């Protein structure tokens, strides 16, 4: 198992990374590296540098901490979530190349401790719920669950760690009065940010769409990452609601891992293949249902009267 | 309900609250809500200890009192964001909705069966929660509340709690995926009764059905030899020990699979998922029925009409102001016609008064 600075560079949120940083002073070079790190996150660039000297490694770790300071100062969801997604994917790439001991050590940083029963790997249910993604494959109903232990594979364990890293990074403490170099770095970064606020989303009023769709739009507005099924569901729904590809792509540009090329292709594909909008039962299996509408299909929302829509939204239907 | 009835109910409630035994862990970290007209008219209340809470109930005597499932640093603060959330009990609300004011009471036994299954199979079995962390209470009206206070579950967010409810309700359950054809000649390999979760439950449910009602799955299994041969296979995870075709067997299991989830939880998903929800204080009185939301030690023996009534009190003469159908309480009660006047035990009189069907007889004119 890799230890020391090599480990800390790859896993800059770890306790050993924090220990390695003690005594390191924030300087311009570190802040520049932090800006670079954040810009790479916006592009979805997961590449890592080869670092030979300990001083370079320490700076690299410090750039992660400085990037978090900038994010804590800016409170920009889009930037924070892009950073969280990119960093967590980087961690997954590292884990794929690690030995079991190292994977266990990283997992343990988040309290993910697996056991084994009958030759199969398992983890405790609350931890599983906390770090599993909203994807049908990970839904509890599709898992083997015995006495509070959920069976997982080694690859799934690494995916749980990725999700744990993402969630950890997304929660950034507010940095109220940062040093001036952090303030100016934040200013510089914001100027370079793509303008992502979609006019369509700004014009959506409460009650325009069923609660499940509204919730996804709301999450998008906060630049939260959406699982694949949620994106497919939303695209097919918005197509059925009469939106064109440009408008839908514009909406998806708010996601932290947005790629215009991929989005255009997939939205076009859904339109060409005339994907049906998922029924309420399917939305439920995706884990995206968040109200009791009893309408069978999200599209039936539009035939409800305002009184009923309000009652459903308020949970009094 | 008139002023006389309200006064009477409050007196009975206050006298009960003077001696009632509340078991509210971390009372100082909980938000309380009280109601008179509605279930909750005011919230964001908090009490430093059990004695303060008792004094409040004896002096103010609301018709309903609820506490948060959540624990907070500042339970009395508002809005919610200022409270400082520390975690929440995992609470399940099982109740029945039926037609009419009195329709639900005939079905309370069914909800009780669901509670037993929820606790034994899901909470203790699948989720692995220890018995000492589970408290079951009667809701005081049409159902039951199950409070899970396992520290490991306190920190779960709303989405994660929803995932547990979906699991219990069997959302997205596709039991056909439990089966596969393997080997040559192909055998139908499926779950064994010893397995956990829905897989084991399907196998055990099938065996139970075969034993209790042999002909339901197929007339073939009316013959003991055929049936036992099939069951011996299921015990080993081999579902092919029958002359029925594989896909036919799987298809015929549909009704078994449909009965595996707990269906009555679905009425109140919000209670489990919503972290700001207030839930009736166990052992407090429900203002629509006068029954105590009693903490239950042995649910199999629990009868709300006996165990949840407020003890004591002399019989009361009431006059019915509307027709009431017969209700099976601990004894058959009713039916009553409008203007019927008679003496009823205190808990029955209170029940009909709070339901708005009767008034105290002396109050007439």
pLDDT in tens, B291-341: 999 999 999 999 999 999 998 889 999 999 999 999 988 888 879 999 999
Number of independent structural domains in chain B:
3
Indicate whether B107 and B213 sit together in one domain: no
Contact A144 B195 (CB under 8 A): yes
Nearest to A149 among B128, B129, B177 (CB): B128
Note whether B123 contacts A: Cβ–Cβ < 8 A. no
Contact B127 A125 (CB under 8 A): yes
Note whether A129 contacts B: Cβ–Cβ < 8 A. yes
- Chain B residue numbers touching A112 (CB-CB < 8 A): none
Indicate whether B330 and B347 sit together in one domain: yes
Contact A148 B159 (CB under 8 A): no
Instruction: Render pLDDT for A185-212 as a digit per residue (tens, 0 to 9).
Output: 888 888 777 665 555 566 677 778 899 9
- Chain B residue numbers touching A140 (CB-CB < 8 A): 163-164, 166-167
- Chain B residue numbers touching A146 (CB-CB < 8 A): 126, 128, 195-197
How many Cβ atoms from other residues are within 10 Å of residue A181's Cβ? Answer: 18
Chain A: residue nearest B155 by CA?
A126
Q: Across the A/B interface, how many CB contacts are shorter than 8 Å?
A: 71
Indicate whether B131 and B157 sit together in one domain: yes
Q: Is the peptide bond before A211 cis (omega within 30 degrees of 0)?
A: no
Indicate whether B26 and B152 sit together in one domain: yes
**In this predicted structure, what is the pLDDT of residue B91?**
93
Nearest to A147 among B167, B177, B196 (CB): B196
How many Cβ atoms from other residues are within 10 Å of residue A18's Cβ? Answer: 13
Stretch 141-200 of chain B: residues touching chain A, C-beta under 8 Å? 152-153, 155-157, 159-160, 162-164, 166-167, 170-173, 177, 195-199
| Torsion sign (Cα): B305, B310, B315, B316 | negative
Half-sphere exposure of A168 (CA within 13 A, CB side): 20
Confidence category of residue B364, pLDDT binned at 50, 70, 90: very low
Q: Which two tokens stand for residue A235?
A: 């695209």
Indicate whether B79 and B131 sit together in one domain: yes
- Chain B residue numbers touching A129 (CB-CB < 8 A): 156, 160, 163-164
Note whether B113 contacts A: Cβ–Cβ < 8 A. no
Stretch 137-166 of chain A: residues touching chain B, C-beta under 8 Å? 139-149
Indicate whether B347 and B277 sit together in one domain: no
Nearest to A146 among B159, B171, B197 (CB): B197
CATH classification at residue B272: 3.90.920.10
- Chain A residue numbers touching B125 (CB-CB < 8 A): 147
Q: Torsion angle, CA of B236/B238/B243/B244, rounded to 10 degrees?
A: 120
Instruction: Render pLDDT for B251-301 as a digit per residue (tens, 0 to 9).
Output: 999 999 998 888 765 546 677 778 888 999 999 999 999 999 999 999 999
CATH classification at residue B324: 3.40.5.50
Note whether B237 contacts A: Cβ–Cβ < 8 A. no
Q: For residue B6, is pLDDT > 80?
A: yes
Closest of B106, B120, B158 to residue B262, by C-alpha: B120
Q: Which two tokens stand for residue A162?
A: 């990725």
Helix-, strand-, coil-residue percentages of chain A, each rounded to 5 = 60, 5, 35
Note whether A291 contacts B: Cβ–Cβ < 8 A. no
Instruction: Render pLDDT for B177-188 as a digit per residue (tens, 0 to 9).
Output: 899 999 888 899
The Cα of A53 is separated from the nearest Cα of chain B by a number of Å equal to: 41
DSSP per-residue string spanning B279-325: EEPTTSB-TTT-BB--EES-GGG--HHHHSBPP----EEEEESS-B-
Nearest to A125 among B128, B162, B199 (CB): B128
Contact A130 B156 (CB under 8 A): yes
Instruction: Render pLDDT for B183-237 as a digit per residue (tens, 0 to 9).
Output: 888 899 999 998 888 999 999 999 999 999 988 889 989 999 999 999 999 999 9
Indicate whether B338 and B299 sit together in one domain: no
**Residue to test with chain A: of B88, B159, B191, B197, most A Cβ within 10 A:** B197
Q: Is the peptide bond before B185 cis (omega within 30 degrees of 0)?
A: yes
Q: What's the domain range around B275?
A: 3-170+264-307
- Chain B residue numbers touching A122 (CB-CB < 8 A): none
The Cα of A141 is separated from the nearest Cα of chain B by a number of Å equal to: 5
Indicate whether B7 and B136 sit together in one domain: yes
ipTM of the complex as predicted: 0.86
* Residue B238 vs residues A144, B139, B181, B183, B249: alpha-carbon distances, Å: 19, 44, 10, 11, 12
The Cα of B273 is separated from the nearest Cα of chain A by a number of Å equal to: 10
Indicate whether B95 and B119 sit together in one domain: yes
Chain B: residue nearest A141 by CA?
B167
Segments of chain A with pLDDT less than 50:
none
CA angle at B332 for the pair B329 and B333, rounded to the nearest 5°: 80
Indicate whether B15 and B98 sit together in one domain: yes
Instruction: Render pLDDT for B50-79 as a digit per residue (tens, 0 to 9).
Output: 999 999 999 999 999 999 999 999 999 988
**What's the CA gap between B341 and A240, in Å, rounded?**
62
The Cα of B160 is separated from the nearest Cα of chain A by a number of Å equal to: 6
What mean pLDDT value characterizes chain A? 86
Chain B: residue nearest A282 by CA?
B172
Indicate whether B234 and B294 sit together in one domain: no
- Chain A residue numbers touching B93 (CB-CB < 8 A): none
pTM reported for the whole predicted model: 0.82
Indicate whether B116 and B11 sit together in one domain: yes
């Amino acid at each position: 198992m890799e230890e020391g600075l090599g480990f800390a560079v790859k896993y800059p949120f770890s306790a050993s990374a924090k220990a390695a940083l003690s005594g390191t002073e924030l300087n311009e070079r570190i802040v520049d590296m932090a800006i670079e790190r954040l810009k790479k996150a916006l592009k979805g660039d997961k590449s890592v540098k080869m670092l030979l000297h300990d001083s370079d490694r320490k700076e690299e770790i410090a750039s992660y901490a400085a990037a978090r300071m900038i994010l804590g100062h800016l409170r920009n969801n889009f930037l924070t979530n892009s950073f969280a997604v990119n960093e967590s994917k980087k961690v997954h790439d590292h884990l794929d190349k690690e030995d079991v001991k190292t994977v266990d050590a990283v997992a343990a940083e988040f309290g993910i401790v697996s056991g084994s029963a009958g030759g199969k790997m398992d983890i405790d249910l609350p931890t599983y719920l906390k770090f599993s993604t909203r994807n049908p494959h990970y839904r509890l109903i599709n898992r083997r669950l015995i006495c509070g232990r959920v069976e997982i594979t080694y690859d799934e364990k690494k995916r749980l760690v990725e999700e744990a890293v993402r969630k950890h990074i997304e929660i950034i403490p507010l940095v109220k009065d940062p040093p001036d170099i952090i303030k100016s770095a934040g200013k510089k970064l914001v100027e370079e940010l793509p303008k992502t606020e979609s006019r369509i989303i700004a014009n959506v009023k409460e009650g325009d769409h069923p609660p499940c769709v509204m919730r996804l739009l709301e999450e998008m507005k906060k630049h939260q990452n959406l699982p694949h099924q949620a994106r497919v569901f939303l695209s097919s729904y918005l197509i059925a609601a009469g939106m064109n590809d440009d408008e839908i792509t514009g909406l998806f540009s708010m996601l932290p891992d947005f790629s215009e090329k991929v989005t255009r292709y997939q939205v076009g594909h859904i339109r060409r293949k005339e994907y049906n909008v998922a029924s309420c039962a399917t939305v439920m299996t995706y884990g995206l249902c968040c109200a009791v509408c009893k309408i069978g299909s999200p599209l039936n929302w539009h035939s409800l009267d305002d009184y009923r829509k309000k009652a459903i939204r308020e949970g009094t239907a | 309900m008139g002023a006389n009835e309200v006064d009477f109910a409050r007196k009975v409630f206050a006298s009960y609250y003077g001696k009632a035994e509340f078991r509210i862990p971390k009372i100082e970290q909980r938000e309380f809500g009280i109601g008179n007209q509605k279930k909750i008219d005011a919230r964001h209340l908090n009490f430093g200890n059990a004695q303060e809470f008792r004094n409040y109930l004896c002096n103010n005597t609301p018709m309903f009192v609820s506490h948060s499932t959540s624990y907070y640093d500042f339970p009395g603060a508002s809005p919610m964001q200022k409270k400082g959330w520390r975690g929440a009990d995992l609470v399940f609300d099982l109740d029945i909705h039926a037609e009419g004011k009195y329709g639900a009471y005939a079905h309370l036994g069914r909800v009780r069966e669901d509670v037993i299954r929820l606790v034994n199979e899901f909470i203790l079995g699948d989720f692995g929660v220890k018995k000492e962390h589970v408290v079951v209470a009667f809701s005081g009206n049409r159902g039951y509340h199950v409070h899970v206070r396992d520290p490991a579950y306190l920190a779960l967010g709303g989405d994660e709690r929803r995932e547990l409810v979906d699991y219990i309700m069997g959302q997205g359950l596709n039991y056909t995926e439990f089966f596969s054809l393997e080997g040559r000649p192909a055998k139908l390999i499926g779950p064994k009764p010893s397995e956990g979760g829905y897989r084991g439950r399907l196998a055990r449910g099938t065996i139970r059905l075969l034993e209790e009602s042999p002909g339901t799955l197929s007339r073939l299994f009316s013959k003991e030899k055929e049936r036992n041969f099939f069951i011996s296979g299921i015990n080993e995870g081999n579902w092919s020990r029958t002359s029925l075709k594989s896909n036919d067997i799987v298809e015929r299991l549909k009704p078994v699979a449909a009965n595996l989830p707990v269906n009555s939880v679905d009425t109140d998903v919000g209670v489990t998922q919503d972290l700001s929800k207030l839930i009736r204080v166990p052992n407090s009185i429900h203002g629509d029925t006068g029954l105590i939301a009693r903490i239950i030690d042995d649910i199999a023996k629990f009868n709300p009409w006996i165990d949840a009534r407020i003890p004591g009190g002399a019989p009361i003469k009431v006059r019915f102001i509307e027709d009431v159908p017969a209700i099976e309480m601990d004894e058959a009660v009713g039916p009553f016609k409008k203007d019927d006047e008679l003496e009823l035990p205190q808990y029955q009189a209170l029940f009909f008064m709070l339901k708005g069907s009767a008034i105290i007889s002396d109050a007439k004119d």
